[in-house]
Amino acid sequence: MKKKEFSFKLISKFKKARLGRIKTPRGFIDTPAFMPVGTLGTVKGLFVEDLKKTNTQIILGNTYHLMLRPGSNILEKFGGLHDFMNWNKPILTDSGGFQIMSLSKLNKIDKDIGATFRSHIDGKKIILSPEKSIKIQKSINSDILMVLDECPKLTSNRDTLKKAIDVSTEWAKRSKIEFGYNKNKALFGIIQGGLYNDLRVESLQRLIDIDFDGYAIGGLAVGETQDEMFETVKDITKKMPENKPRYLMGVGTPSDILGAIKEGVDMFDCVMPTRSGRTGLAFTWNGKINLKNSKFKNDKSPLDKNCTLRNLNNYSKSYLNHLIKTNELLASMLISLHNVNFYQQFMGEIRNSIKSRTFTKFYNKYIKLFN
């Protein structure tokens, strides 16, 4: 069998925090890494050229939403999402599993069939099986594919969580069969089990037996407290393979990311930077800033005087406050770009701190600032 072009190298560690690099034919991904979310083939409010300038190395697309719009037929005509949206770097695609949970009023789970949805757009009946999810991800031509899983809502019911593990494991097996072998791409398994460590370990071990290129921690950031999330991550990362990427799905705030990196997580995604940008919330090296606040009405200072990207350092907080108050689109564009750029700077400094063995000092400074 030919050597896979996709690979992960663990470069160094500081305590549990890991510095690594993922290799793909479309470029390297330095870890710990943050993936901006481009659900429908766009990171909301950002030009692709600007996204690249933030040092974003990989973005996330969503299988469920791209299946509905624009659809596999159009994506295949372009050879996938990369050419369709003019993005030449790696893409990871969620499998649609989260939508099984978030749109649960519109679907039905069957272990043998998959998830039967009613489209949130027009009510049309759609069956998303493990095989179909992988086929759609292949039409998207993503570089990292995710298995279809059942992600339960936050619950303490062990029977519900155990059943979800059984369903997810069966779907993971079928996803891998459909994925086949492709030396240029990767398939990640997804660990479930709620807040129960023993169930998490069971889920992980069953996925390791199938053998995936990376392992994701799913079913968190669904309503549990941050401490509960950290404790769950701390317990399961002890059992996760050292030589495979570890991905905490749907996370999160800067403090969420810091806490998870402290426990050995490598990859993150979240809508936080752009969603917050659309509501006037900015992330800065001095903490979070709500630009809707009237105290910024006369503030001539920029969000970051050192940020020359799109000349963001030329826009005052006063001007941004004005744009928000008058519902101007430019407000969300400027703040979203600032936030994504900050997140990538934040990840870069985290990587530097792991390399220089100063991560504990960095952690102690910023975990308090963003809580």
Secondary structure (3-state) at 11: strand
Nearest to 213 by CA among 235, 185, 233, 236: 185
The residue from 50, 143, 269, 304 that is catalytic is: 269
Given a contact cutoff of 8 angstroms between Cβ atoms, the answer to whether 249 and 43 are in contact is no
Q: Identify whether 94 is a catalytic site residue.
A: yes
Predicted local confidence at residue 121, as pLDDT: 83
| CB neighbour list of residue 265: distance below 8 Å, 6 or more residues apart | 32, 217, 233, 237, 246, 247, 248
Secondary structure (3-state) at 116: strand
Predicted local confidence at residue 2, as pLDDT: 62
Strand partners, 216: 190, 247
Nearest to 168 by CA among 126, 109, 81: 109
The tokens of 297 are what? 């009405």
The tokens of 192 are what? 């479930």
Predicted local confidence at residue 261, as pLDDT: 98
Given a contact cutoff of 8 angstroms between Cβ atoms, the answer to whether 145 and 134 are in contact is yes
- Phi then psi for residue 114, to 5 deg, are 130, -150
Predicted local confidence at residue 320, as pLDDT: 98
Which amino acid is it at 176?
Answer: K
For the chain, the domains span 58-241
Q: Identify whether 211 is a catalytic site residue.
A: no
The bridge status of strand 91-94 relative to strand 107-110 is unpaired
Q: Among the CATH numbers 1.10.3720.10, 1.10.1370.40, 3.20.20.105, 3.40.50.300, which is that of 58-241?
A: 3.20.20.105
The bridge status of strand 91-94 relative to strand 144-146 is parallel
Give yes or no for a cis peptide into 70 (omega within 30° of 0).
yes
Helices within the chain (DSSP H only):
48-53, 63-68, 72-77, 81-85, 97-102, 130-140, 158-179, 197-210, 226-237, 254-262, 272-278, 317-325, 329-355, 359-369
Which amino acid is it at 168?
Answer: S
Nearest to 62 by CA among 166, 133, 129: 133
The residue from 50, 94, 143, 304 that is catalytic is: 94
If 0-12 CB within 10 Å is exposed, 13-18 middle and 19+ buried, where does residue 7 land?
A: middle
Nearest to 188 by CA among 14, 321, 6, 1: 6
| CB neighbour list of residue 105: distance below 8 Å, 6 or more residues apart | none
Q: Is the pTM of this model over 0.85?
A: yes
Q: How many other CB atoms sit within 10 Å of the CB of residue 271?
A: 18
Given a contact cutoff of 8 angstroms between Cβ atoms, the answer to whether 98 and 147 are in contact is no
The tokens of 140 are what? 């998207």
Strand partners, 280: none
Each residue's pLDDT tens digit in the chain (371 positions)? 567 799 999 999 999 999 999 999 999 999 999 999 999 999 999 999 999 999 999 999 999 999 999 999 999 999 999 999 999 999 999 998 777 667 656 678 899 999 887 887 888 888 899 999 999 999 999 999 999 999 888 999 999 999 999 999 999 999 999 999 999 999 999 999 999 999 999 999 999 999 999 999 999 999 999 999 999 999 999 999 999 999 999 999 999 999 999 999 999 999 999 999 999 999 999 999 999 999 999 999 999 999 999 999 999 999 999 999 999 999 999 999 999 999 999 999 999 999 999 999 999 999 989 98
E strands present in 218-318: 246-248, 267-270, 281-284, 287-290
Which amino acid is it at 277?
Answer: G
Given a contact cutoff of 8 angstroms between Cβ atoms, the answer to whether 267 and 240 are in contact is no
Give yes or no for a cis peptide into 252 (omega within 30° of 0).
yes
